[in-house]
Structure 1
Amino acid sequence: MASSNDTSLAVSCRNVGMVWAEGTPRAHEALCGIDLDVKPGEFVTLLGPSGCGKSTLLYLIAGLETATGGTLTAFGKKVTDPSPERSLIFQETSLFPWLSVWQNVTFGLWVNGRKARERREVAADALQRVGLYHAIDKRPDELSGGMRQRVAVARALAMRPKVLLMDEPFAALDVQTRAKMQDFLIDVWKDSSASILFVTHHIDEAVALSDRVAVFTARPGRIKTIVPVDLPRPRDLFSPEAEALRRHLTELLRDEVDRAFAEQEMMSAA
């Protein structure tokens, strides 16, 4: 395993832990002993039961929260604050309804004081990459759910990130739109050369997208194992190889899901 300050790694986690509300009666351990390396341009999926700390790990990598243990670096530099190099995309698109699509895409650039003409040029390029240039002057409420998620991706791309952190971005979409968005994301990922860490509960989604799948235990979240996905792209998700991988991931998750449900039932009964 490479050292935590290895500049060749997009993200490196060493024994990372997180305790929410540490030192209070409400304290609970979300993550414990996370060791994970992500290479530049690699697509890694975080798969696990609800409440196992997958999203928490994204927040730590984004610099929105500070780990209570361990070391976390990006390209050899310790993560202490948010950075344009690491963009986080949430499940909810969080677009501003009063702004046009191009203004939403370049909101971060506006905060940084970039001029309107330059921002619009950046927006045009980002929207072209996600296939939404025609919507540049529309408002978010004029777009479908899948189109709004593409705008959220374009907003992240406008900051030219080296790492895209995606927290169940397609969870609210119907099955057909989700499949289309997965294909779209693979195209954008190849074009951008960014590393992607993608949180999902869906085994099919992990098989469709990943170079590797990090399987999490129930809370406190640990990485149970990391499974390589050696399937050619574009992927045939009905192939015997894909089916075998789905079965393997299902077996790895079964005990963890049972533990997570048992814990939730205990908390509800308390």
Structure 2
Amino acid sequence: MASDPVAPFSSRDAVVCRNVGKTWAPGTPRAHEALRAIDLDIAPREFVVLLGPSGCGKSTLLYLIAGLEDATSGELWSFGDRVETPSPQRSLIFQEASLFPWLTVGQNVAFGLSIAGMAAEERARIVRDALQRVGLWEAIDKRPHELSGGMRQRVAVARALAMKPRVLLMDEPFAALDVQTRARMQSFLLDVWEASGASVLFVTHHIDEAVALADRVVVFTARPGRIKTIVPVDLPRPRDPFSPAAEALRRHLTAQLQDEVDRAFAEQEVVIA
């Protein structure tokens, strides 16, 4: 990572990105720049949505913050500590629930605690609390294949919450769900977030989802992903998706995103040709 001077930031910030860039497969014919010059500060307990066209590096940024990948340039911090490796303080939830099919719901939620060497009694207490918070205590002995898609994602959230993260990173976790289930999961997530006290970075392609969830919406350009604009959302919760203010925000985000989506499609057509 670069050692150039960076803009000042607070050690209390949940996430800090300074001039962060990522190039995949550098120095090879397959090299491509995913992210460029990302500067972003996330406050404690803040819910931030990352919105942008496909391939703009939103998920890549989550992997960098999680410590699963190294940035090509720039620096990242979380609560004053440089991000260099994965940490239980930063939990990542993928688009698919990624549960172990051979384990029960309870065993899946306890997995990280077991790896950390936590005593069985304490582990059982935390698992019970996490499953009660997501409304799935009754399913503790079921296997993932016995659950609906929405229930599996709730188990994934419970597993993340069991580690008591200070930052929850969510990569399109509701993308595979139907419209009705997605709306219920959004409401559920807001309740869990407020109770947990964690900061959330949530990736989505859906403007409606951004309007429903965010304190701020970070709009990305087409690849290489840069921050085009950051839109604060001052709507009270619970939000009425049909209110004039929500509709105005939806229109504003659509306008901000349209040129980037068009450019992303044009670039894909060039590659295919």
TM-score by length of 1: 0.98
Match of 1:17 in 2: 21
Match of 1:66 in 2: 70
Contact 2:7 2:18 in 1 (8 A): no
The gaps in structure 2 that reach 5 residues or longer are: 1-5
Match of 2:131 in 1: 127
CA distance in 2, matches of 1:222, 1:63: 20
Contact 2:88 2:165 in 1 (8 A): yes
Match of 1:27 in 2: 31
1:244 to 244, 248, 258: 248
Name the aligned partner's letter for residue 170 of structure 1: F
Match of 1:137 in 2: 141
1:227 to 223, 227, 231: 231
2:218 aligns to what SS in structure 1?
strand
Please state how far the C-alpha of 1:135 moved relative to its aligned partner.
0.8
Contact 2:105 2:144 in 1 (8 A): yes
Please state how far the C-alpha of 1:117 moved relative to its aligned partner.
3.0
Contact 2:105 2:155 in 1 (8 A): yes
CA distance in 1, matches of 2:123, 2:80: 30
Please state how far the C-alpha of 1:116 moved relative to its aligned partner.
3.0
2:98 to 94, 98, 119: 94
CA distance in 1, matches of 2:119, 2:105: 17
Please state if 1:107 is matched with 2:98.
Answer: no
2:198 to 171, 194, 197: 194
Please state if 1:84 is matched with 2:88.
Answer: yes
2:160 to 148, 156, 165: 156
1:153 aligns to what SS in structure 2?
helix
Name the aligned partner's letter for residue 242 of structure 2: F
More deviation in 46-55 or 100-109? 100-109
The gaps in structure 1 that reach 5 residues or longer are: none
Please state how far the C-alpha of 1:69 moved relative to its aligned partner.
0.5
Name the aligned partner's letter for residue 214 of structure 1: V
Match of 1:3 in 2: 8
Calculate percent identity across the aligned residue pairs.
Answer: 76
Can you list the C-alpha shifts for 1:68-97, whole angstroms capped at 9, x where unaligned? 101110001110000000000000111111
Name the aligned partner's letter for residue 246 of structure 2: A
Name the aligned partner's letter for residue 226 of structure 2: R
Please state if 1:255 is matched with 2:263.
Answer: no
Alignment: residue pair count: 268
Structure 1 segments, 4+ long, off by >3 Å, are none
RMSD of equivalent CA atoms: 1.0
